[in-house]
Structure 1
Amino acid sequence: MDQNGTSRGKVCVTGASGFLASWLVKRLLLSGYFVIGTVRDPGDAKKVEHLWRLEGAKERLKLMKADLMEEGSFDEAIMGCQGVFHTASPVAGTAQDPMGEIVEPAVQGTLNVLRSCKKNPSLRRVVLTSSSSTVRIREDIDPRVPLDESSWSSAELCERFQVWYGLSKILAEKAAWDFCKENNIDLVTVLPAFLIGPSLPPILCSTASDVLGLFKGETKKFEFHGRMGYVHIDDVAGCHILVYEHEAAYGRYLCSSTVIDNNELASFLASRYPSYPIPKGFKELERPYYEFNTAKIESLGFKFKPLEDMFDDCVASLIQQGHL
């Protein structure tokens, strides 16, 4: 509540039951917003139960049905909202048709949401969850110059190495910028690194289960990480709200705390959590060295939590949920 006793206004979060979206809904409710969350099936208790348990949910959360691939299905949820956080995006499909299962839905879904935004006269700003993979997948990285928001990944490289998730994020973000420029929509994008932290949904998403695997001694998922940025899930939610609320926020914002090689990460984790069979190391990959320059979000006063905090919180939550 602000001084006048009114709430912070009404915002929409797409794909509200997801790993990041759930945490964003939690933070928005704690900040006093009225939140409309879109999910594919509001009646699916297993998928949405955790949202109803959030503080403030009974009073200020409404879940509505919407589907990324259904034209106009976001109209009702978005109408009357001052802000829209578009976080919903397909993460994994089968290898048979990656374009049809991951890339197309990401691009079409984003445009579908933005078309609904265009019909809403109350709209102030759209915040799109993109990914740091839209910045770092390139062949021409200068290891001495940290990557910032002016860098774009190579779509051609993603196709060549079949990095379908990266390709879907690049094309969806570019489509969003084109659409918003044409239609005078105030868009800000957040580019998170690999999310680490507690999972509110009881069913772990691929990101959270990859981390769980690491603590059980499995190497297969993290083997491909090579050098990777990591960030606390709470920081990513915080970044979304900060760039929504900050009048002067514009353009893209990298959201990453620490960039580290997976061998360094393995030894850090093994020494911090000695009771788990964490792999001692991974096979070296021929990947370029890079750092991220996050001065842009930090200039708005943002401070990132360190690696220790993100993994401590993550482990505590995996234990509490009975996964570890």
Structure 2
Amino acid sequence: MGEKGLVCVTGAAGFLASWLVKRLLLAGYRVRGTVRDPEDREKVGHLWELEGAAERLELVKADLMVEGSFDEAVRGCEGVFHTASPVVLVKSDPKAEILDPAISGTLNVLKSCKKNPTTRRVVLTSSTSAVRVRPQTELDPAEPLDETSWSSVDLCERLQIWYPLAKLLSEKAAWKFAEENELDLVTVLPSFIVGPSLPRRPCKTVSDVVGLLKGEADAFAWYGRMGYVHIDDVVSCHVLVYEADAAAGRYICNAAVLTNCQLAARLAQRYPWLPTPTRFENPLGVESPSYELDTSKLTSMGFKFRGIEEMFDDVIGSVEELSQRKNTSS
């Protein structure tokens, strides 16, 4: 395997980014990852344990909220994978404190990419949240949502669901910047990502999945109906759209859309020994609209998705492996 070019991964210590760094290293790329503190071994130590890290990984400090902070990080890179999201402690105004950092953080990275003459393509991680939050009257399961669909700003604001709105507005801002500055941008829109965690501290997504398998329904009650996708498929999609010369625009990355009850039934059948919840109280008090997601743009490139069972098999396997390690070490 020959060595490939230099690429940058923002927020390299995160759940998705860590797996992306691993895949890129295994593929022979040189990887420059941005983190808030390269010396924090508790948060970045798992990256140095990856195969190829000693030879081809570099970690540098960068802050999404500081303009120009990514200039050095992307310098000389042929590709940039922007997966990072600002870590914001909401105090009084969730709308301003979540939306503004998401948009300005994305634009800060893209501005640095524009300054770098070697940038061939930028792959931005968005979310199906930027597609699926729409009034019931605009949704028809017989006509799945595709890459031309956008979530409703008004509905997000009315329901005060700031994460989808942040993803929506930051992706739109990215497309506007890319078009005005002739930057080659591709966006990946994963649904709810399921899979084992490389970071030692699991993120909320991983914690919610583990909690569900332990019988905790509160976190998932918010989701209602949700698309699910394996972490490995999301990583593969990022690499595919980066390497494929003809790739362009947005790519929905989703394996299956299920209601909470449908998901619980599948899990209960496969793992009858686990206390999977059977009831989910929706805190919004609004019935989750019925929708499907069209992934034909991705599957037309030969992409195949793993199923729900494999996603959760891998999570359970990793939890059991971690538990065995703790028992052995103690």
Alignment of 1:1-324 (within 5 A): 1-2=1-2, 7-90=3-86, 93-94=89-90, 96-139=92-135, 140-283=138-281, 286-322=287-323
1-side partners of 2:272 and 2:232: how far apart? 25
**Structure 1 residue 322 displacement after superposition:** 2.9
Deviations 1:169-209 (A, max 9, x none): 00100000000001000000000000000100011111011
2-side partners of 1:96 and 1:134: how far apart? 24
**Structure 1 residue 103 displacement after superposition:** 1.4
Q: Structure 1 stretch 277-286 or stretch 201-210: which is displaced more?
A: 277-286
**Structure 1 residue 160 displacement after superposition:** 1.0
Q: How many residues align?
A: 320
Specify the SS of the correspondent of 2:55: helix
AA aligned to 1:209 is: S
AA aligned to 1:63 is: L
2-side partners of 1:133 and 1:184: how far apart? 26
2-side partners of 1:93 and 1:25: how far apart? 27
2-side partners of 1:311 and 1:91: how far apart? 27
Structure 1 runs of 4+ with >4 Å offset:
none
Specify the SS of the correspondent of 1:8: coil
Conserved? CA contact 1:111–1:175, under 8 Å: yes
Q: CA 1:147 to 1:273, structure 2 compared with 1: closer, same or farther past 3 Å?
A: same
1-side partners of 2:55 and 2:308: how far apart? 35
Q: CA 1:22 to 1:159, structure 2 compared with 1: closer, same or farther past 3 Å?
A: same
Q: CA 1:51 to 1:154, structure 2 compared with 1: closer, same or farther past 3 Å?
A: same
Conserved? CA contact 2:218–2:280, under 8 Å: no
Conserved? CA contact 2:64–2:86, under 8 Å: no
Name the Cα RMSD after superposition: 1.5
AA aligned to 2:38 is: P
Q: CA 1:96 to 1:22, structure 2 compared with 1: closer, same or farther past 3 Å?
A: same
Deviations 1:19-63 (A, max 9, x none): 000000010001100000000000001100010001111100000
**Structure 1 residue 95 displacement after superposition:** 6.1
2-side partners of 1:17 and 1:98: how far apart? 25
**Structure 1 residue 92 displacement after superposition:** 6.6
**TM-score with structure 1 setting the length:** 0.96
AA aligned to 1:314 is: V
Conserved? CA contact 2:12–2:84, under 8 Å: yes
Q: Structure 1 stretch 142-151 or stretch 76-85: which is displaced more?
A: 142-151
- Provide structure 1 residue ranges, at least 5 long, that are not aligned to the other structure: none
Q: Structure 1 stretch 69-78 or stretch 265-274: which is displaced more?
A: 265-274
Deviations 1:68-110 (A, max 9, x none): 0011110001010000000001477436332343211110000
Q: CA 1:42 to 1:76, structure 2 compared with 1: closer, same or farther past 3 Å?
A: same
1-side partners of 2:130 and 2:230: how far apart? 19
- Provide structure 2 residue ranges, at least 5 long, that are not aligned to the other structure: none
AA aligned to 1:156 is: D
1-side partners of 2:235 and 2:129: how far apart? 18
Conserved? CA contact 1:143–1:288, under 8 Å: no
